Structure 1
Amino acid sequence: MDVLSDVLERAGAGTATVRQLIRQPPWAMTFADAPSLTVVAALGGPVSIRIDDADGTPYSLAAGDIALISGTSRYTIGDSPSTQPEVVFQQGKPYFLKTGEEATAGPDLPARTCGDGGLPGATTMLWSAYQLRDGLSDRLLEMLPPVAIIPAGPRTQAVLDLLTTETGSDEPGQDAILARLLDLVLVVSLRAWWAKPDATPPAWYRALADAPIGEALRLLHEDPSYRWTVSNLADKVGLSRAAFSARFSKLVGEPPLTYLTGWRMTLGADLLRDTDSTIAAIAHKVGYHDTFAFSVAFKRIHGVSPSVWRRTG
């Protein structure tokens, strides 16, 4: 598995909600506890995005544009920056702002497909939310701005057409198809964003373009528990030990074994939070046969011991 695919899978990017919204302006809704990553695609009509816990600068989407929203706890989507929201989403449930009552029925509420229907001037958009695992999502989101706008293009449009068709259907296997199509939208969008001349993708992503270092990263992600050394990694990619170490450090921003330790600790933190495995079992799974050595490395990276992380994480 390649490194980006590994990061996406481990971060939980395969578990997302997909909704299609068709609304007649004016309309707006606020998401008060925003998910880790939101993907919004404008299919027709005006779409405006405002990050409410930042400076409030609006972002506009034209038909076919995609927005990746991350690193924020509250944002508003509507037909115009001036439209006041009618509904606020908290803990996944919609509430009317005027009354505070839960909005449980009616055409104004997002479902897989909902809204006013295809009236002239209506806005049609896709909204999807990823609840990513905290530590692992950092690898994915660390270099994205709060809102990344990916302009319409032939590659994204083809996927959006498929996703739109499937979202409007209700057939067996629908959730599986939607999840895979949405993952495709996400990957294509990330590629397009990180390919922009002014983008600053993570160092590990840039390093994937280098054949030897990209292969080394693939090996580390494919088998993080293996007893890797600089020497055996260098042998695997056909470089001398010194040349490999210098090249990896320059491209990735840290030495090979430092990168490996950080990745192991990220995986360990995720396992401590999401499983009931013993600390010894987790240590072994991420490449440590000595539980004490794992605990020392974990505390150096995360600032607390594995047992404290598990209780408070």
Structure 2
Amino acid sequence: MGGVDVLSDLLHRARARNTLVRQLIQRPPWSVTFADAAPLTVVAVLGGGASVRLDDLDASPARLAAGDIALIGATGRCTIADSPSTPPEVVIREGRKYRVGGGEPVDGTSWNLAPRTYGDGRPGGTTMLRGVCELHGEVGDRLLAMLPPLAVVPAGPRTRPALELLAAEVAREEPGQDAVLHRLLDLVVVVALRAWCAGPGPVLPAWYRALSDPAIGEALRLLHEDPARRWTVAALAAEVGMSRAAFAACFAALVGEPPLTYLTGWRMTLAADLLSDTDATVAAVAREVGYEDAFAFSVAFKRTRGTSPSLWRREAR
């Protein structure tokens, strides 16, 4: 098996942007509410402990120990504190800091310890990293759909080296530092996502579970590697060494939908992002995702997205 794997394909196409990494070093008690969370937030505790609560959801706070990573896919209010019982002290809204109950923003310079580092800096407290990033388009939504609103990845040997790299770089101020932090945050997200998927208990999408099957995993890889190819069920079955009937039944059982239905959904995901991101004509987008007939593409797009490609493009922009 060679070429692109499905998770790597999603991560590449979802290419995180507008990343931001900050470090907190603070003695208890402390509590910070983020009023407008990013589509994906990473919280990692390097020392001490922290509590993460999604304020808009009726769920218990998650407790993080040193080395734990939380992946937050919910975009509502989120409170991070030393303890669930610590009342909120400050609210961060649109990048500005406000005291709880106060209307005017407060000067945050007294909190600044170093580049991208804030808190009181006193020993014996919590050292925490918080990274935010915006995943791109419909592919990013597909990736986020793998996660619950709050996924906690326990400390482990596979995630620790990436965290240590990010922690070593966050307070530095050198040429290209933002690019370094962007890539290291990507690395932390990937290893944490992979560790979470491999752990006990997560309810993963059927397509992800199907990757562990050699034949169906290979078929999914082929569909992602060359989605524009004029695939048939028979051609896919031949590629993975199965009979057409056995392959179709196995694919539907593991993935939850027939092969060509999966392919159409993936093509429409790619097409939605092409329409949003490029000035290519509808006919050109249709060809890019495997449709020679722009009318057939428009019908398929409207059936899956509820609107025409042209209207989708106007609304996206």
Question: Please, what TM-score do these two structures have when normalized by structure 2?
Answer: 0.91
Query: In the alignment, is residue 161 of structure 1 matched against residue 164 of structure 2?
Result: yes
Cα deviation, 1:111-158, whole Å, max 9, x if unaligned, reads 853223541222111111121234222322224221111111111112
How many pairs were matched up?
A: 313
Counterpart in the other structure of 2:138: 135
Query: In the alignment, is residue 10 of structure 1 matched against residue 6 of structure 2?
Result: no
Q: Which moved more, 1:146-155 or 1:100-109?
A: 100-109
Q: 2:189 aligns with which of 162, 179, 186?
A: 186
**Structure-to-structure mapping, 1:217-228, within 5 angstroms:** 217-228=220-231
For 2:266 and 2:62, locate their aligned partners in 1 and report how far apart those are by CA, in whole Å.
34
Query: In the alignment, is residue 68 of structure 1 matched against residue 83 of structure 2?
Result: no
Shift of 1:53: 0.4
**Structure-to-structure mapping, 1:1-313, within 5 angstroms:** 1-13=4-16, 16-55=19-58, 57-103=60-106, 105-108=108-111, 113-116=116-119, 118-313=121-316
Q: Which moved more, 1:224-233 or 1:11-20?
A: 11-20
For 2:40 and 2:215, locate their aligned partners in 1 and report how far apart those are by CA, in whole Å.
31
- Which residue identity does 1:85 align to in structure 2? P
Cα RMSD over matched residues?
A: 2.1
Determine helix, strand or coil for the equivalent of 1:172: coil
User: Any conservation in 1 of the 2:251–2:259 contact (CA below 8 Å)?
Assistant: yes
Q: Which moved more, 1:225-234 or 1:296-305?
A: 225-234
| 1:107 to 1:114, Cα distance in 2 relative to 1, 3 A | farther
- What percentage of aligned pairs have identical amino acids? 62
| 1:203 to 1:174, Cα distance in 2 relative to 1, 3 A | same
User: Any conservation in 2 of the 1:25–1:79 contact (CA below 8 Å)?
Assistant: yes
Question: Please, what TM-score do these two structures have when normalized by structure 1?
Answer: 0.92
For 1:261 and 1:145, locate their aligned partners in 2 and report how far apart those are by CA, in whole Å.
25
- Which residue identity does 2:132 align to in structure 1? A
Shift of 1:104: 5.6
Shift of 1:229: 1.5
Q: Which moved more, 1:261-270 or 1:21-30?
A: 21-30
Determine helix, strand or coil for the equivalent of 2:303: helix
For 2:106 and 2:231, locate their aligned partners in 1 and report how far apart those are by CA, in whole Å.
54
For 2:232 and 2:110, locate their aligned partners in 1 and report how far apart those are by CA, in whole Å.
59
User: Any conservation in 2 of the 1:48–1:59 contact (CA below 8 Å)?
Assistant: yes
User: Any conservation in 2 of the 1:14–1:183 contact (CA below 8 Å)?
Assistant: no
| Structure 2 stretches lacking a partner, 5+ long | none
| 1:6 to 1:116, Cα distance in 2 relative to 1, 3 A | same
For 1:16 and 1:242, locate their aligned partners in 2 and report how far apart those are by CA, in whole Å.
46
Determine helix, strand or coil for the equivalent of 1:154: coil
- Which residue identity does 1:226 align to in structure 2? R
- Which residue identity does 2:225 align to in structure 1? E
Q: Which moved more, 1:112-121 or 1:155-164?
A: 112-121
- Which residue identity does 1:49 align to in structure 2? V
User: Any conservation in 2 of the 1:22–1:113 contact (CA below 8 Å)?
Assistant: no
For 2:237 and 2:151, locate their aligned partners in 1 and report how far apart those are by CA, in whole Å.
36
| Structure 1 stretches lacking a partner, 5+ long | none
| 1:264 to 1:92, Cα distance in 2 relative to 1, 3 A | farther
Q: Which moved more, 1:105-114 or 1:161-170?
A: 105-114
Q: Which moved more, 1:89-98 or 1:300-309?
A: 89-98
User: Any conservation in 1 of the 2:138–2:269 contact (CA below 8 Å)?
Assistant: yes
For 1:79 and 1:51, locate their aligned partners in 2 and report how far apart those are by CA, in whole Å.
15
- Which residue identity does 2:297 align to in structure 1? F
Determine helix, strand or coil for the equivalent of 2:201: coil
